[in-house]
């Protein structure tokens, strides 16, 4: 989330305290998830590599979706109508 402008009243201070508490809880949950994965035999390097590959996959998929969208506009069809032509599943 983007930073919120600071206001000099108690309500904004309370909102900030709640946000800090939520972030600390998320941090703890992530630490616990990492500990669980490590206990299952995963290494931090392996997890980092997996995350990196997921980011790369998502970027490539986004580019493909953009190209399908442009092609659909050119042809005057929906992207959904192009999926069978390229042997894509709707879940792709």
Supply the pTM of this predicted model: 0.53
Q: Is the pLDDT of residue 86 over 70?
A: yes
- pLDDT at position 14 is 85
> How far, in Å, CA of 69 to CA of 73, rounded?
6
Residues whose CB falls within 8 Å of the CB of residue 65, separated by 6 or more in sequence, listed in order: 79
The full set of domain ranges for the chain reads 9-42, 43-91
More confident residue, 12 or 70: 70
Q: What is the mean pLDDT of residues 17-21?
A: 92
> How far, in Å, CA of 35 to CA of 49, rounded?
17
- pLDDT at position 63 is 95
24 and 17 in contact (C-beta within 8 Å)?
A: no
Q: Which two tokens stand for residue 38?
A: 């490590």
pLDDT in tens, 21-74: 999 999 999 999 989 988 999 888 888 898 999 999 999 999 999 999 999 999
């Amino acid at each position: 989330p983007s930073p919120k402008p600071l206001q000099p009243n108690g309500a904004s201070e309370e909102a900030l305290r709640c946000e800090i508490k939520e972030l600390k809880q998320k941090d703890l949950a992530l630490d616990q998830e990492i500990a669980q994965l490590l206990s299952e035999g995963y290494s931090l390097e392996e997890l980092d590599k997996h995350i990196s590959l997921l980011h790369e996959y998502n970027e490539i998929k986004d580019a493909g979706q953009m190209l399908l969208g442009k092609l659909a506009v050119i042809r005057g069809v929906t992207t959904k109508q192009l999926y069978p032509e390229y042997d894509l599943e709707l879940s792709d």
